Amino acid sequence: MKEIFLIGLGNPGKKYSKSRHNIGFLLLEQLSKKYNSNFLLKDKLKSSCSEFQINDSTFRLFLPNTFMNNSGDAVRAIVDWYKINLDQIFIIVDDKDLPLGKIRFRRKGSSGGHNGLKSIIEQLQTQNFKRIRIGIGSPPIKGKNNFNTISHVLGNISLEEKSILNKVYKRVIESLEQLNTKKEEYIINELNSFDKDQP
């Protein structure tokens, strides 16, 4: 039985639940709901967890409760508890350097300035883990090149953004469901070539 570990990054708590920084949480919550599975808090994993089967694979979903900047603590706890190979892990994360609605699936890479990824790299001592980055666009320019990154990433997703992101979630979820049947190369290409304007 193949096991797939999906870890969404975000901040726990109502205050952040609709923020752009919580796209990893929002996507996995939709996937879990689709399979009628609920998230339960597991202290030893520093995460809320949900588990279900698709075909002959077990999908384990995690929402760390460590706050974004310490995401690595939860990922480390999950890796140690399940004694898993890093190949089985997929991190789902927001990216302000990608335009809204763009998806980038990479097998490895730097944090790109993302504190959640930075924390995971520090804890795992490697950049070799898969991540699916979902574009949230850059913050609007206020005054003279004053990008207010923090209020952008922690700001709530607007209705217009939500309709684009719903298409993104649908596409990513369909690809994740095929992780056990399609070659990874195929899924990478499918996600990286996604166009939000296609009907």
Told to judge if 114 belongs to the known catalytic residues of this protein, a careful annotator would answer: no
Q: How many CB atoms lie within 10 A of CB 153?
A: 22
**Contacts (Cβ under 8 Å, ≥6 apart) of 167:** 101, 196
Cα 135-138-140 angle, rounded to 5 deg: 145
Q: What is the 3-state secondary structure (H, E, C) of 106-146?
A: ECCCCCCCCHHHHHHHHHHCCCCCEEEEEECCCCCEECCCE
Distances (CA, A) of 29 to 2, 10, 24, 40: 21, 12, 9, 12
User: Which listed residue (20, 21, 60, 114) is catalytic?
Assistant: 21
Catalytically annotated residues: 21
